[in-house]
Amino acid sequence: MNYREMMDFTGKSVLITGGTGSMGSEFARAFSSCGADVVTADINPQGSEDIIKQCETFGAKAYFVKVDLLNIHSIQDMVAESIEKLGKIDILCNHAGFNIRKPAVEFSEEEWNKLVGVNLKAAFFVAITVGKHMIERRSGRVINTASVSAARGHKNLSIYAATKGGISQLTKVLAHEWAEFGINVNAIAPGYVVTKQTENYVKDPEVFKSLTSRIPLGRLGLPSDIASVVLFLASDGASYITGQTVFVEGGRMID
């Protein structure tokens, strides 16, 4: 193996769902900086023009595709359009998701359906739609996004935790089914990361102190901390890793 060139993704094509968010956009920039062409897919086009311009500064091709992940036909159209634009999909960052935080007894059926629909159902259908393409090519990398909540019973995260636990198990099963086709399937499980969703925690000194006191490394993660692990899992250096959920959380799972 050429270790020096391990993170060279020249000639590779990457699809990133949730691509306009704080972490998804960092994934796009990271892959582009290493030579890959990218499609960022999201329901919200806000910020997509800037992301494309940033990716293009590295000489990469970059596109935005709008998708409604609650609509299976929209998912299928997203994958088809991405293949049309990129020519192929070598790497899927199956990242899109969101959270609602409140006691379990306060959740409505509508909130259950939306959380499970985006975080688990959509992740499944994105994976298998791209997976069919990868199976035909007998090659590919799938990186799902789970969470520390997949393994911990944090209060007020009942549905979110259930979906992320499902992502970890889905990752194992797809890895098992698709190994014979040369496809590696893994998941990342971030802890608290500085994003738009956590900015209120960062701004509140007491909440911030409470959060960081439970993290051995003493800080929240950055999108770049997560992106670097995604790059590794997509690289040849991770060719013998599949079915794993990699926790990226500053040591929070130690105790």
Residues known to be catalytic: 160
Say which residue the tokens 């960062």 belong to: 202
What would the DSSP string read from start to end of 127-149? HHHHHHHHHHHT-EEEEEE--GG
Question: What distances in angstroms separate CA 1 from CA 4, 11, 74, 121, 139, one per listed residue?
Answer: 9, 18, 39, 37, 18
Both tokens assigned to 237: 């250096």
Q: How far is the C-alpha of 35 from the C-alpha of 21, rounded, in Å?
A: 21
Nearest to 12 by CA among 38, 45, 30, 33: 38
Nearest to 14 by CA among 110, 124, 94: 94
Q: Helices marked H in 34-157 — which ranges?
A: 48-56, 72-86, 109-116, 123-137
Q: How far is the C-alpha of 155 from the C-alpha of 103, rounded, in Å?
A: 7
Question: What distances in angstroms separate CA 106 from CA 12, 110, 112, 115, one per listed residue?
Answer: 45, 12, 11, 14
Nearest to 56 by CA among 86, 41, 42, 36: 36
Both tokens assigned to 255: 């105790």
